[in-house]
Structure 1
Amino acid sequence: MKAIILLASLFFACTQRSTDPVMLTNPNASGNDYTFLSIGDSYTIGESVDASDRWSVQLAGLLRKQGVDIADPDIIAKTGWTTAELQEAIQQSGNQKKYDFVSLLIGVNNQYRGQSQDRYRAEFRKLVQTAINFAGGKAGRVLVLSIPDWGVSPFAAGRDRPKIATEIDAFNAIAEDECRKMAIAYVDITPLSRQAAGDASQFASDGLHYSGKQMRQWAETALPVARTLLTN
């Protein structure tokens, strides 16, 4: 029972430990043609995986292999954050930098905590505007990823998986709709996460978060969209 509680706190933590950094910066970013900011929650910070396995770090590496000289990302993300907590953390970070490219992946904790879809829509909209501001006002340099489905994880055994899937689909529909309204690129990685069901290699050692192998697929799916945004 204690192990289950611990796993839940890793993914769905409600508070931030004071010793954890709000923002992770890449000190070598000035040597690249493009800078990159990635914001979100556990899926962005890469809970229970190596830093090199984070999906946005893998995306940057794939872009460089295709000749797009982009730095590894600065990251503002933490396990357990909702949309409101991410927005608050961004403000606390004091980050005033402008970036050539910004990614956003957020919402799983809104769903898990049973927050309303209306609240998610309003707070997600504000976060997208924040991402646009980080991108120097360029909506065409912002990329949003859909929320993966944690209901297929080993941790979710015994839970109402169809209900989790339905709720995540509803939150993703809101995100996609808001992105459409604001001319923001939206990449749907949720089907990839669902294909991971039953494959232990697709999950991190905690049985809840996704492994670098799964996040590689997210990066590969986002790659052509990100390349187009940066080179057009």
Structure 2
Amino acid sequence: MKKLGLIVILLIVVFSCRVNDDQQITIPKSYKILALGDSYTIGQSVCETCRFPEQLKDSLITKISRQDTISLKVIAQTGWTTTNLKSAINNENLSNDNDIVTLLIGVNNQFQSKPFSLYEEEFPELVTTATTLANGNQNNIIVVSIPDYAYTPFGQGFGLSETTTEEINMYNAFAENYCAINNITFINITDITRNGLINTNLVASDGLHPSELAYTMFVERILPVAIEKIR
């Protein structure tokens, strides 16, 4: 009986040690961010690490465990409309397991005087595609509002600043309303860019696009919701 009792005690000790060891083992996680857009996403006229998707990735890295990693893929190009972005996505072999997908698109539809109806048709299609790419979960999507280039030296020199603002308001209102109806996260950063004439540090060296500082301010608004999504 004494031997049996000793065996039972030993088994309990071994099992307890194994449980404790298992509790200490953590499997590293790999998070994936996909950024879709145009010049505002690619970061025209700023360094590669200065654009908002890179700043968002770097900020998120500070909020996760040391052993976890975050990768970023950017599908964006200066001048792209919603149509261009749709085509580019179709030509890419993108995975559907992204933890966060950002979407910022529409300024070139406005700048190139495309029919607004085109945006009304293609923006929802892009959101649907983004949902597929985000593990089929629309909660993983972050739509970012269109900056207002009327408040830049280029926008002022273009001579249609009031019309530009009105039209960008129309585009953003449609996107925000669509996101509200469909429970999709919409982050408004347009007001930041409307300080570009007062604070010239918000405008890149080309006199048109957001600067690194402006993108930092974008990320300050995006980061809290991004943290919740990867959790």
- TM-score category (smaller protein): 0.7 to 0.9
Cα-to-partner distance string for 1:22-55 (whole Å, 9 max, x where unaligned): xxxxxxxxx7531110010000000111110010
Which residue matches 1:153? Answer: 152
Question: 2:31 aligns to what?
Answer: 34
The answer to whether the 8 A contact 1:35-1:101 is kept is yes
Bigger mean CA deviation after superposition, 197-206 or 125-134: 197-206
Deviation, 1:66, is 2.3
Aligned match of 2:112: 113
CA distance in 1, matches of 2:140, 2:85: 20
State the SS of the aligned residue for 1:137.
coil
TM-score (norm 2): 0.83
How do 1:26-65 and structure 2 match up within 5 A? 33-65=30-62
Matching residue of 1:24: none
Q: How does 1:13-28 map to 2 (within 5 A)?
A: none
1:196 deviates by: 2.2
Please list the CA deviations of residues 156-179 of structure 1 after superposition, one character each: whole Å capped at 9, or x if unmatched: 223121111110000001111111
Correspondence for 1:67 among 64, 68, 83: 64
Structure 1 regions of 5+ residues with no counterpart?
A: 1-30
- SS of the equivalent of 1:36 reads strand
Larger Rg: 2
Q: Scaled by the length of structure 1, what TM-score is found? A: 0.82
Cα 1:72–1:200 change in 2 (3 A) is farther
The one-letter amino acid paired with 2:84 is E
The letter of the residue matching 2:196 is A
The answer to which of 188-197 and 139-148 deviates more is 188-197
Q: What is the aligned partner in structure 2 of residue 228 from structure 1?
A: 228
Asked if the contact 1:140/1:185 (under 8 Å) is kept, the reply is yes
Establish whether residue 210 from structure 1 lines up as the match of residue 207 from structure 2.
no
1:165 aligns with 2:162: no
Aligned counterparts of 1:197 and 1:98: Cα–Cα separation in 2: 40
CA distance change for structure 1 residues 152 and 90 in 2, over 3 Å: closer, same or farther?
same
Counterpart of 1:151, as a letter, is: A
**Aligned residue identity for 2:224:** P
* Equivalent position of 1:4 in the other structure: none
**Cα contact 2:57–2:70 (8 A) shared by 1:** yes
- Structure 2 portions without partners, runs of 5+: 1-27
Q: Distance in 2 between matches of 1:62 and 1:116?
A: 37
- Comparing 124-133 with 113-122, which one deviates more in the overlay? 113-122
